[in-house]
């Protein structure tokens, strides 16, 4: 019953999206102006219906209604409740339903609260949002219906991939999707502004909080996903340049550029066409990412099942939306009037530079991600990994980070470098000191070397905009900028330190044997079987000690065997200290040492040995701490802008009230 209600809600929501598109478009004409009134309420109800459909899906998953095909394929009655619920979006259909739900809710939210723009632009924006939603509703209803029934009803479900049975699944995809799909608002705003030709500071000020909101979620989602992959896969890495990861990075790069060009447009009325273009590009990257991930066209450890029909469908949607938006941009770009001018050395100049660098990195990632597809059409099977992405990304990231240190100190419009250069003495000295220190240590590869040096300088430089300010009166957006830029330095330091100083140890040890990894002594105490709700495991008890006289701590890595579906995973154990993380993975049982003759002579060695993989990763948690700081910076800026807007509205209504009274 709930499945049918969900499906009906989905059809209704799709119909309302159609109505929203029609009413919004007709509302722009003089004859249909009355229809415009309907657009906002329709958008709100459409969002609520999508939410209802999603709630129905969660319900059928939480009660494990096996007559629903999706549940039977992806769930199991013996699974803990939290993974039953999270399993609702841990598959293709469910995640697409989450996508349209977020999209509908975002549109409804905009319709409910956004009052700063001219009503015509809002109509065009909401019509654009409905137009995009409509395609994804069609995709859900015709090519990936999540509520499809199954007959006969199976006795038990197939279960959820054990790698996904983790709290990360409950948190990471919804956060990421809020960011991913939240960018659709920027896309629709850009479309709306292009249609009504209202590109200016007011447009940028209205768009900025929405972009910021989506960007915050995207940042948190990427950081959470990276940490999840880090501890769940047991490979010790935190970023694999996997197509799915790139699919989330590309919208982030575009959204970061958009955010900064939005600021220029809002404060200085420059970069008009560029900002609109980025608005289109950011969400286009979200859609391309979805296409890459959902079509199964690229091999990925994260991807769900492959279905060529779906790939074609999403490709068609991509062509319509991205192509259509670009054509609209091409037609209208020349009529978007030129903004204010600025000198090369100015805040705007620095922001333009960083925008171009971010776009270049975006291009590098996009090329690398698509190259295997291109090569395959020529018959070569290739994969592209860190040897391409790391140096090519750094080539543009390093200049960008250097300008990031200087840019916030420059004045708008025109400035002289000599004015700010004395502030940069200390950061420059930090960079030099780090470089000398690293040369003394020696054997640090070029990229982590650059990363560590730049991170130190940037950490100091990012705080300089606060210098000489009354900290209590410093506006929140400035605090936000400083926090986010400082977060970049922190994350960069973590990444470089991980890559430069990680120590890896792979051993087979007997019970009671002690092994050394970096400053840690690790003793394998016991290996014992343990059982969970839907798995059994071998659990190693490691007694670890930092330095010669540190406190002894326990670590419990497991090798788990799930029975639905039957699959083994390794649960790594992490021990965090202020200066890094010890990472332990339990492998399999290795045969006894030596050959048979030795075994005879030594009675002790017929006892098995256990494979252990250990890493000591100095300062690695800074990667995710930095990511959270970046998101926090975004949140501070968002709070600042929203509070300022509320104050302005409040003031305006007070003035209006006074005028009214004086008028009497």
Partner 1 sequence: MAGSIRAPIKAKHQRLVLLVVALVVLIGAALLAAWALRNQASYFYVPSDIVAKPPEPDRAVRLGGMVEKGSLKTAADGVTVNFIVQDGKASVPVTFRGIVPSLFVEGSGVVAEGRLGANGTFVADNLLAKHDENYVPREMQDMTKDQAKQVVAETQ
Query: Sheet of 609-618: strands edge to edge?
Result: 503-509, 609-618, 580-590, 573-577
CB 408 within 8 A of CB 427: no
Of residues 52-91, those binding partner 1 (CB under 8 A) = none
Q: Which is nearer to partner 1, 395 or 656 (CB)?
A: 395
Ramachandran assignment for 236, one of left (phi > 0), alpha (psi -120 to 50 degrees), beta (any other): left
Per-residue string for binding with partner 1, 291-310, x by CB under 8 A? --------x-x-xxx-----
The rounded distance, in Å, linking the Cα atoms of 517 and 519 is 6
- Decide: is 512 part of the binding site for partner 1 (CB under 8 A): no
Residue 438: CB partners within 8 Å, gap ≥ 6? 444, 449, 452, 453, 500
Instruction: Give least dist CB 342 to partner 1, A.
Output: 8
Q: Which is nearer to partner 1, 532 or 565 (CB)?
A: 565
Instruction: Give least dist CB 388 to partner 1, A.
Output: 4
Scanning the structure block, which residue is given the tokens 């998953």? Answer: 61
Instruction: Give least dist CB 416 to partner 1, A.
Output: 9
The rounded distance, in Å, linking the Cα atoms of 402 and 317 is 39
Among 80, 308, 323, 391, binds partner 1 (CB under 8 A): 391
Among 1, 31, 378, 380, binds partner 1 (CB under 8 A): 380
Number of other residues whose CB lies within 10 A of the CB of residue 301: 13
Among 145, 161, 423, 605, binds partner 1 (CB under 8 A): 161
Of the ranges 402-410, 432-440, 568-576, 626-634, which one interacts with partner 1 (CB under 8 A)? 568-576
DSSP conformational letter for 611: E
CB 451 within 8 A of CB 496: yes
Q: Which is nearer to partner 1, 553 or 605 (CB)?
A: 605
Per-residue string for binding with partner 1, 605-624, x by CB under 8 A? ----x-x-x-----------
Instruction: Give the number of residues in contact with partner 1, rule: CB under 8 A.
Output: 57
CB 366 within 8 A of CB 384: no
- Decide: is 591 part of the binding site for partner 1 (CB under 8 A): yes
CA 356 to chain centre: 21
Task: Tell me the CA distances in angstroms from 597 to 377, 509, 593, 600, 608, one per residue in order.
Answer: 56, 20, 11, 5, 16
Q: Which is nearer to partner 1, 437 or 594 (CB)?
A: 594
Q: Which is nearer to partner 1, 416 or 654 (CB)?
A: 416
- Decide: is 327 part of the binding site for partner 1 (CB under 8 A): no
Instruction: Give least dist CB 545 to partner 1, A.
Output: 23
Helix axis angle, 119-138 to 167-196, nearest 10°:
130
DSSP conformational letter for 68: B
- Decide: is 383 part of the binding site for partner 1 (CB under 8 A): yes
Of the ranges 45-53, 353-361, 481-489, 549-557, which one interacts with partner 1 (CB under 8 A)? 353-361
CB 114 within 8 A of CB 205: no
Scanning the structure block, which residue is given the tokens 């999508």? Answer: 50
The rounded distance, in Å, linking the Cα atoms of 455 and 451 is 6
Instruction: Give least dist CB 296 to partner 1, A.
Output: 9
Q: Which is nearer to partner 1, 595 or 662 (CB)?
A: 595
Instruction: Give least dist CB 605 to partner 1, A.
Output: 11
- Decide: is 360 part of the binding site for partner 1 (CB under 8 A): yes
CA dihedral 30, 32, 34, 40 (to 10 degrees): -110
Instruction: Give least dist CB 96 to partner 1, A.
Output: 16
Q: Which is nearer to partner 1, 281 or 438 (CB)?
A: 281
E strand or H helix at 588: strand 580-590
Q: Smallest Cα–Cα separation from 241: which of 394, 448, 386, 451?
A: 386
The rounded distance, in Å, linking the Cα atoms of 650 and 640 is 15
- Decide: is 364 part of the binding site for partner 1 (CB under 8 A): yes
Per-residue string for binding with partner 1, 412-441, x by CB under 8 A? --x---------------------------
- Decide: is 568 part of the binding site for partner 1 (CB under 8 A): yes
Q: Smallest Cα–Cα separation from 279: which of 299, 298, 260, 304?
A: 260
CB 25 within 8 A of CB 134: no
Among 384, 463, 466, 628, binds partner 1 (CB under 8 A): 384
Q: Smallest Cα–Cα separation from 203: which of 212, 193, 211, 194?
A: 193
E strand map for 74-219: none
Instruction: Give least dist CB 231 to partner 1, A.
Output: 16
Of the ranges 3-11, 321-329, 369-377, 437-445, which one interacts with partner 1 (CB under 8 A)? 369-377
Of residues 245-274, those binding partner 1 (CB under 8 A) = 273-274
Instruction: Give least dist CB 86 to partner 1, A.
Output: 17
Binding site for partner 1 (CB under 8 A): 161, 273-274, 299, 301, 303-305, 338, 341-344, 352, 356-357, 359-360, 363-364, 367-368, 371-372, 375, 380-385, 387-388, 391-392, 395-396, 414, 506-508, 565, 567-570, 585, 587-588, 590-591, 593-595, 609, 611, 613
């Amino acid at each position: 019953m709930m499945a049918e209600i969900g499906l009906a809600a989905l059809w209704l929501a799709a119909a309302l999206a159609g109505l929203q598109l029609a009413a919004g478009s007709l509302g722009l004409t003089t004859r249909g102006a009355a229809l415009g009134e309907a657009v906002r309420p329709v958008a709100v109800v459409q969002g609520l219906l999508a939410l209802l459909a999603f709630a129905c899906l969660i319900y059928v998953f939480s009660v494990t209604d096996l007559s629903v095909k999706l549940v039977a394929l992806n769930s199991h009655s013996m699974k803990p409740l939290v993974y039953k619920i999270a399993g609702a979006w841990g598959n293709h259909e469910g995640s697409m339903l989450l996508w349209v739900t977020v999209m509908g809710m975002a549109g409804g939210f905009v319709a409910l609260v956004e009052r700063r723009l001219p009503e015509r632009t809002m109509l065009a924006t909401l019509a654009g949002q409905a137009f995009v939603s409509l395609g994804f509703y069609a995709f859900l209803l015709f090519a990936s219906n999540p509520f499809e029934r199954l007959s006969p009803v199976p006795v038990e479900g197939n279960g959820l991939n054990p790698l996904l049975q983790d709290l990360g699944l409950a948190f990471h995809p919804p956060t990421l999707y809020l960011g991913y799909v939240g960018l659709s608002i920027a896309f629709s705003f850009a479309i709306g502004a292009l249609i009504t030709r209202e590109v200016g500071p007011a447009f940028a000020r209205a768009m900025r909080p929405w972009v910021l909101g989506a960007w915050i979620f995207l940042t948190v989602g990427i950081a959470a996903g990276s940490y999840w992959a880090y501890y769940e896969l047991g490979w010790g890495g935190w970023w694999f340049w996997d197509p799915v990861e790139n699919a989330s990075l590309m919208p982030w790069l575009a959204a970061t550029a958009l955010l900064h060009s939005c600021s220029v447009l809002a404060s200085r009325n420059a970069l008009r066409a560029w900002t609109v273009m980025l608005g289109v590009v950011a969400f286009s990257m979200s859609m391309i990412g979805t296409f890459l991930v959902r079509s199964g066209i690229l091999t990925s450890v994260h991807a769900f099942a492959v279905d060529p029909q779906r790939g074609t469908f999403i490709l068609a949607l991509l062509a319509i939306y991205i192509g259509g938006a670009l054509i609209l941009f091409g037609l209208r770009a020349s009529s978007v009037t030129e903004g204010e001018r600025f000198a090369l050395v100015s805040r705007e100049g620095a922001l333009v530079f960083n925008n171009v660098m971010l776009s270049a990195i975006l291009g590098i990632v996009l090329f690398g991600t698509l190259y295997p597809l291109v090569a395959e059409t020529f018959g070569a099977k290739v994969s592209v990994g860190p040897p391409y992405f790391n140096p090519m990304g750094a080539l543009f990231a390093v200049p960008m980070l250097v300008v990031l240190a200087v840019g916030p100190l420059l004045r708008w419009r025109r400035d002289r470098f000599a004015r700010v250069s004395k502030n940069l003495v200390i950061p420059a000295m930090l960079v030099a000191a780090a470089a000398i220190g690293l040369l003394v240590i020696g054997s640090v590869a070029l990229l982590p070397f650059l990363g560590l040096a730049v991170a130190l300088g940037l950490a100091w430089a990012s705080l300089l905009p606060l210098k000489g300010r009354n900290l209590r009166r410093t506006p929140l957006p400035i605090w936000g900028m400083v926090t986010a830029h400082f977060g970049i330095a922190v994350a960069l330091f973590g990444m470089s330190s991980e890559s430069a100083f990680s120590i890896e140890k792979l051993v087979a040890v007997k019970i009671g044997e002690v092994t050394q990894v970096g400053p840690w002594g690790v003793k394998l105490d016991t290996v014992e079987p343990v059982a969970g709700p839907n798995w059994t495991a071998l659990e190693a008890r490691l007694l670890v000690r930092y330095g010669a006289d540190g406190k002894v701590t326990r670590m419990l890595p497991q090798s788990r065997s799930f029975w639905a579906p039957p699959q083994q995973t390794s649960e790594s154990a992490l021990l965090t200290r202020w200066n890094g993380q010890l990472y332990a993975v339990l492998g399999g049982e290795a045969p006894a040492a030596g050959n048979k003759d030795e075994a005879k002579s030594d009675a002790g060695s017929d006892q098995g040995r256990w494979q252990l993989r250990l890493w000591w990763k100095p300062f690695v948690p800074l990667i995710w701490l930095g990511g959270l700081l970046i998101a926090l910076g975004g949140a501070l800026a968002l709070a600042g802008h929203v509070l300022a807007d509320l104050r302005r509205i409040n003031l305006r209504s007070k003035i209006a009230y006074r005028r009214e009274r004086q008028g009497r």
